[in-house]
Structures are given as C-alpha cells and as structure tokens.
Amino acid sequence: MSYRLSLGSHRYHWHDLKILLARASPPRSGDFLAGVAAATMEERVAARLALADLPLARFLDEALVPYESDEITRLIVDTHDAAAFAEISALTVGEFRNWLLADTTGEAALCRVAPGITPEMAAAVSKLMRNQDLVLAASKCRVVTRFRNTLGLPGRLAVRLQPNHPTDDARGIAAAILDGLLYGCGDAVIGINPASDNLPAITRLLVLVEELRLRYEVPTQSCVLTRVTNTLRAIEQGAPVDLVFQSIAGTQAANAAFGIDLALLAEARAAALSLGRGTLGDNVMYFETGQGSALSAAAHHGLDQQTCEARAYGVARHFRPLLTNTVVGFIGPEYLYDGKEIIRAGLEDHFCGKLLGVPMGCDVCYTNHAEADQDDMDNLLTLLGVAGVNFIMGVPGADDIMLNYQSTSFHDALYLRAALGLRRAPEFEDWLARMNLIDATGRLLRPAPGQPLLAHAASLATPG
Amino acid sequence: MSDPVQSDAWSELRRYTRARIALGRAGNSLPTAEVLKFSLAHAQARDAVHLALPRDQLLAALAAAGHAALAVHSAAADRAQYLRRPDWGRKLDDASRASLLAARPAEPPDVVFVIADGLSATASAHAEPLLQILLTRLQGWRVGPIVVAEQARVALGDDIGALLGARQVVMLIGERPGLSSPDSLGIYLTYAPRPGRTDAERNCISNVRPEGLGYEHAAHTLHFLLAGARRLGLSGIGLKDDSGLTAPLASAALPE
C-alpha cells in the first residue's frame, strides 16, 4: 500500500510503510548512509503528518520485512496479543501519542497494553514524539526483573560494573571490580567484556567474579559478555554462569551476522534456567543492542535504523531478560553523528524498549571519532535518569581501556543519585549498608581501615 | 578549611591496571585534577582523528630512504565526508586510480605496503620505523612502491593492491584513538587483494606503538604472517598466527 500527502503545491508519495517510517524519522547519519532519510526537512514533517493519521492496526496488516523470510517478523506477528491490543486498537499513531501522554494513562494501563504493542508501532509513535515526550512516557512504564536482586523498581537506578582489561588480566579486573564496589556500584551485574574469545580464559573470568561474589555475599549477578555459543559450552563444562549474554538485532539476517537465531537463544536460556542459580527470580538473559547494527551487516531491508532497533526489543522481550541495554554511541558517527543524534537515539531506544516491556538500561557512550564529549553524556545521563532508566554502565573514570570508548563512570552514577534522589536495588543497598560502605541515606562512606573490601584491596596490592 | 577532595585508600591497585581507578572524589564528583586529565586525553584523541596525514613529509622521508613512493586519496574528499561515508573511504578517487595504473610494475610485486591515515593520522609516525625493521628481513621479496593514502579505510588497500598487481597488500593504518592511546597503528594483511575482500580474509595486528606492541615485535609477527600467506596462498581465518607473540586484538578500534 502506498501513502500520500499534499502540502500546498507539493505532493508527497511514499511507496510503502517502511519508506514512510524512514522519511518520518528524526535525522541521523545512518539513515542518510542507507539512503532512506527524508530528502528535505519538509518531507520529514510531511511523512510525520501522514504517519499521525495512520491507524495503529495498519501495522498488523503490512509487514515491513516479509513474514516468509524473516523469523523476527514471524515472532512479532505470531506472538501479538490481540486482547491486549484491543484497548488501543481504534487509535491512529498520532492519537496513540496523545494517549501515552494523557494524565489518565498510568503504569497499569501501559503494562496491560504492552503485549499488544508491536515494535513497529513503538517506533512509529516515537517518531512523532519530542524528547520530553520520550522521557515522560517512558517514566510511566515499569519493568521489574529479578535474579539475585530486584531491578527496575520506582525511584531506583542500578549500575552494571564493567571492569574490562585489555588482556583480561585477573588482578587488573579484580582491581576495577573492587573500585566499583567501593563506589557502591554493581547491582545490575558485574559484567566483563573479555578481550579473548577463548573458553578457558572466559571460564577463568567467571570463576574470578564468582569467588569474589561468594566471599563477600554480594547480592548481584555476574556475566562474561562473550558469544552465546561460548556461554553454552561454559555451562556444559560446569562453569558458574549466572546470565547468558548476546548482542541482538532486529532482523533475522542481522542476527545471522552475529551468529545467532531465535532457536539458539531459546536453547541458551533453557540451559541457564536449568542451573537454577537465581535466588529471587528467573530472568537469566542479558542483551545488548544498538541502532545501526542491522545496516552495518547490510541486513536492514530498507528499514530506518530506529525501526530496526525497536524490532530488536521485540526479540528481547520474548526471552524475558534481566537486562537489556542499547550501546547507543558505540557504533560511530556514520550511524549517529554527534551528541544531538546520540541523545535522541538513547531516549528513543529507552522509550521503545520500556513501552514493549523490556527492562531497559543504556550504555550512555561515545567514541573519539564522534562529535560528542562528556557534556553530551551528562545531558543524556540526566535525561535518562528522569526517564527512569533501569540501569547504566559503571566504567572506572568513564574510560574503557579494553573497548576504547567512553561510557559512564562510578562517579556519574553517584551524581545521578544525588541529583535525582535515585536509590540502588534494595538488596544491594542493604548489603552496602551492612558492609559500612553507605549510610542510612545511601550516601557513600569513606571505608574504615579493615573494611573487608578495603582489606581485600590491600591484600591484592601486596606483592607476592 | 579541610580539603574537599577525598582520596581513595586503594590507589595501590593502580599498578595492576591502566583503568582510571581510585580517582578520589569531591563530594560525589571527580576532583578537578581528574576532570582536566580526562579532558586532555580526549583532546589528544580528537586531534588525532582530525589532524591531516603529513603526506609530503612522509613521501620525502620515504624518498630519502631510497623507496619508490606515491600518494593516493580515497573518494572521501575530506574528514567530514570520511566520517559519515565509510563506503567512500574504501574506494579510490579517479586521479588515484590513474596514477596507480601508471605506476603498476611490469613484474607483480610480492607485497605492497600502504601507509594510511585511517582514524588517527598521528599513528602514521609508527609506520616508517616499523617498515625499516621489516624491509631488511624481506630479502628476495619484490616490494612494490610504498603508497601513502589519505582519508582511507582498511578496504582501500584492496583497490590499491589490485591496481598495482600485488600478491599481498599490507595496510598500516591509524586505529580509532582510545583515550590513553591516540596513536595506535593497526596492520592489516590481505593476500590476493581485490575489491570485495572481507575482513575474514585478512589478518590483523593491533595496537602498534611504543607503549603498546613495539616495532620489533610487530615486525616479527608481520614477517611471520607474510611468509605464511605466501606459503599457503591465502590470508585470514585460514592463516593462524603461531609466531607466539600475538597481542590480543582490539578489533572494535579498527577503521573498517
């Protein structure tokens, strides 16, 4: 079906729904690179005007990527909850935005309709929303998950402790973990990006974190962010695996470029569940995503990158993850050119994920070839804090020395807590208080001599 | 007045990692000194991305060392285009195609080296000293003209190698600068270069710089890979680096 709109003497015509969505998308370098962006600013708004009048139900009739050739489309169509959709089925995309922002639409309604919202509907409405709309609507969504603690509760913010080291050096990683814990971070996960792809090296890292966690009874979970096939082998060999990590994207072909499909994700989830290591819940998956991943694998099917990204959240929600985060600024300026595009994308990703029922965090980040700096990250971090992001990254000094990019730091997390009154996951907060690392208000304490983690640091620092 | 900066008692741990640990804090925030240290590192990395390749200086140095050398340019006219259009950085501009065809040696070279800006022009400073060590070990190899390439991505070497009829091409290219490594040189080796080669068909040595993988070490590994590729007639996944000296790859930093 084609879409038309006249503005004065200009007649706009878009051949199909995916072109209409792409033309309506706020500008970003990746859509220009793909050749799908609007040619003029007027065309972009014209496409939004046409999109606003489109019934939401239209997305159930017109698949953006063919059902026959893409298992993500099949997943979206086959698992769509018509009963949940009924409440919003009469709305247009423009009316859906109004409904999301209405005072009368709260957490309960958003939870109720979430299974009826497809990723394409979420992407479409986000294209009509200003940044403040993305913040406000996301702040009304609640996605709570559990493994050894409880994440996503109102007024709470968790941090993934990311202690990477360029050679996976055990003492280097332990040093960064201790630094993070002493700074009150690590409730989302202690998650290491390994430099090595090699199974014994990955198992060594899993054991390293496991021993530290058990020794100090830290109510959190660990993860080594290697490919899912490696994690499956680690599980088979009896390694202490809490969470299964995988990068995912919004088309079957892009996932194939990652070496995965839905069946493999299901197999890995079943393997992790069989270990029964979660004490409070069974959310065992950890996903990372990012706009541009499908295009970079030449697997975007002519879709704009934000719509592809929303489809990745369709994949994520099916596997009931503990954590999902967009690594928003990692991919580089050919996809998100500058701070403005990165900030917009971060807010879109968080909103779309939350709307679909995904426990969204964000790696607020940039590379040195992007037109961005710490001030842009401060802006996005603060906006996401207001929007109720489930978790952010904690990298020592915001400088990841293994992946060579800048993320958020332990200090950044403290800033956000202080500025917005955000607390840690309750079980982790209790533990920090027991360890005399925070006071009753959650403020970080200077650890006293002999404090166990400080003593551990001292023993590590003693040569020999 | 007491010092508002609170130091961290575990600063000894810094000996185990270059990560920015035990930074101390002013309230909840970074102390001023750490904010400025970070700013300086970021400024150096940004400069590395945006500074121009010292093309004429490189050509003069290569000529002085007795090497035939020529300059080429990708289809990306400037840095802004280069950053937005990686596809243009993988193709030569028309003038460069013509000059490479004109320079094509009668006998196919065994190897062609390309010194390229990539994402860090400052990394190109490591190319010449590395080549000096390596070339003395390539006795009996027909080494083609050394090419200096501006606004280049890794795959530009496929085009360059094919036009010069090279059996192997080695790209010496600036990696995406890290905060503490603005001048890392990456090395990509491709056997039988031609447009359309994939990354799976290349071998890579990363983080070449005095503070990372040293010249001697990098030259040793590269020599090993070149000889292996010539023996097997391929590069990439089928060519294992068993030189015993390989550093871990930071492939995310490479300007593919």
Question: Closest Cα to residue A348, out of A408, A308, A295, A288?
Answer: A308
pLDDT in tens, B173-218: 999 998 988 899 999 999 999 999 988 899 999 889 998 899 999 9
DSSP state of A242: -
Which residue is it, tokens 């639409």?
A105
CB contact under 8 A, B28 and A444: yes
> In the predicted model, is pLDDT for residue B253 greater than 50?
no
Amino acid B245: pLDDT = 45
Contact A391, A361 (CB under 8 A): yes
Confidence band, pLDDT 50/70/90 cuts, at residue B29: very high
Q: Do B176 and A367 touch (CB under 8 A)?
A: yes
pLDDT band, residue A76 (cuts 50/70/90): very high
CB-based contact A339:A376 (threshold 8 Å):
yes
pLDDT mean across residues, chain A? 97
Contact B16 A369 (CB under 8 A): no
The type of residue at A143 is V
Query: What residues have CB less than 8 Å from A163, skipping those under 6 apart?
Result: A173, A174, A175, A176, A177, A179, A180, A190, A192, A396, B19
User: Do B21 and A418 lie within an 8 Å CB cutoff?
Assistant: no
Task: Name the DSSP letter for residue B104.
Answer: -
Residue A313: its pLDDT value, please? 98
- Taking 90 as the threshold, does the pLDDT of residue A233 lie above it? yes
Substitution target in A164, A171, A179 with the highest count of B β-carbons within 10 Å is: A179
Instruction: Using the predicted structure, report yes or no on whether residue B248 has a pLDDT greater than 50.
Output: no
Q: What is the pLDDT of residues A293-314, one digit of tens each?
A: 999 999 999 999 999 999 999 9
pLDDT for the residue numbered A464: 53
Residue B45 · residue B179 · CB < 8 Å: yes
Averaged over A370-390, what is the pLDDT? 98
Interface probe for B, chosen from A293, A369, A371, A422 (most Cβ of B below 10 Å), is A369
Opening angle at CA A41, ends A343 and A333, nearest 5: 35
Contact A404 B176 (CB under 8 A): yes
Q: Which residue of A176, A411, A447 is in closest CB contact with B29?
A: A411
Q: Is the confidence at residue A433, as pLDDT, over 90?
A: yes
pLDDT-derived band at B240, boundaries 50, 70, 90:
confident
Chain B hits for A398, CB-CB cut-off 8 Å, are 20, 38
Say which CATH topology domain B53-243 has.
Rossmann fold (3.40.50)
Residues on chain B touching A176 (C-beta within 8 angstroms): 17, 19, 21
Closest CA to A273 of A320, A233, A305: A320
Helix (H, G, I), strand (E, B) or coil at A346: helix
pLDDT band at B244 (very low <50, low <70, confident <90, very high): low
Please say if the pLDDT value at position A463 is more than 80: no
> How far is the alpha carbon of B250 from chain A, nearest alpha carbon, in Å?
7
Residue A142 CA to residue A150 CA, distance in Å, equals 12
Interface test with B, best of A368, A375, A399, A402 (most B CBs within 10 A): A368
Helix A410-420, helix A374-387: angle, nearest 10: 50
Neighboring chain B residues of A399 at a CB cutoff of 8 Å: 19-20, 38, 41, 178-180
Q: Give the domain ranges of chain B.
A: 53-243
Going by pLDDT thresholds of 50, 70 and 90, the confidence category of residue A251 is very high
- CA distances for B250 relative to A114, A405, B117, B185, angstroms: 39, 12, 18, 11
pLDDT (0 to 100) of residue B256: 52
Q: For residue A333, give the nearest of B21, B83, B247 by CB distance.
A: B83
Residue from the list A395, A409, A461 with its beta carbon closest to the beta carbon of B12: A461
Res A461: pLDDT? 78
pLDDT (tens digit per residue) in A408-431:
999 999 999 999 999 999 999 999
Contact residues, chain A, for B25 at CB < 8 Å:
411, 414, 444
Residues 6+ positions from B93 with CB-CB distance below 8 Å:
B72, B73, B74, B75
Percentage of residues in chain A with pLDDT exceeding 90? 96
**Pairwise CA distance, residues A250 & B130, whole Å:** 43
Residue A236 one-letter amino acid = E
Question: Do A50 and A20 contact (CB within 8 A), yes or no?
Answer: yes
Q: What is the pLDDT of residue B251?
A: 40
Q: Which residue of A has its CA nearest to B182?
A: A368
Task: Please name which of B189, B256, B198, B195 lies closest in space to residue B227, comparing C-alpha atoms.
Answer: B189
Contacts of A174 in chain B (CB under 8 A): 16
Interchain contact, A414 vs B25, CB within 8 Å: yes
Q: Which residues of A touch B28 (CB under 8 A)?
A: 411, 414-415, 417-418, 444
The backbone torsions φ and ψ at residue A242, rounded to the nearest 5 degrees and listed phi first, read -85, -60
Strand (E) or helix (H) holding A6: strand A3-7
Kindly provide the ipTM of the predicted complex, given to two decimals: 0.95
The answer, yes or no, to whether residue A63 has pLDDT greater than 60, is yes
Strands A405-406 and A189-192: unpaired
pLDDT of residue A210: 98
Residue in A167, A169, A175 closest to B21 by CB: A175
**Residue A57 and residue A201: Cα distance in Å, rounded?**
50
Percent of chain B with pLDDT over 90: 85
A246: closest CA among B246, A238, A236, A262? A262
CA distance A270 to A267: 5
pLDDT above 90: residue A177? yes
Counted across chains A and B, CB pairs separated by less than 8 A come out at: 160
Q: Write out chain A residues lying below 8 Å of B18, CB-based.
A: 166, 401
Nearest alpha-carbon partner for A245 in A237, A234, A257, A236 = A234
B246 pLDDT more than 70: no
B chain contacts of residue A395, beta-carbon cutoff 8 Å: 19
At B30, the pLDDT band (50, 70, 90 cuts) reads very high
Q: What is the b/e burial string over A219-256, where b = at least 16 CB atoms within 10 angstroms of the residue's CB?
A: bbbbbbbbbbebbbebbeeebbbbbbbbbbbbbbbbbe
The amino acid that residue B25 corresponds to is R
Strand, coil or helix: B108: coil
Q: Among all residues of chain B, which has the CA nearest to that of A449?
A: B9
B101-125 pLDDT per residue, tens: 999 999 999 999 999 999 999 999 9
C-beta separation of A134 from A170 below 8 A: no
The 3-state DSSP composition of chain B as helix, strand, coil percent (nearest 5) reads 40, 20, 40
- Rounded to a whole number of angstroms, the distance from the CA of A81 to the nearest CA of chain B is 39
Inter-chain residue contact A175 with B19, CB threshold 8 Å: yes
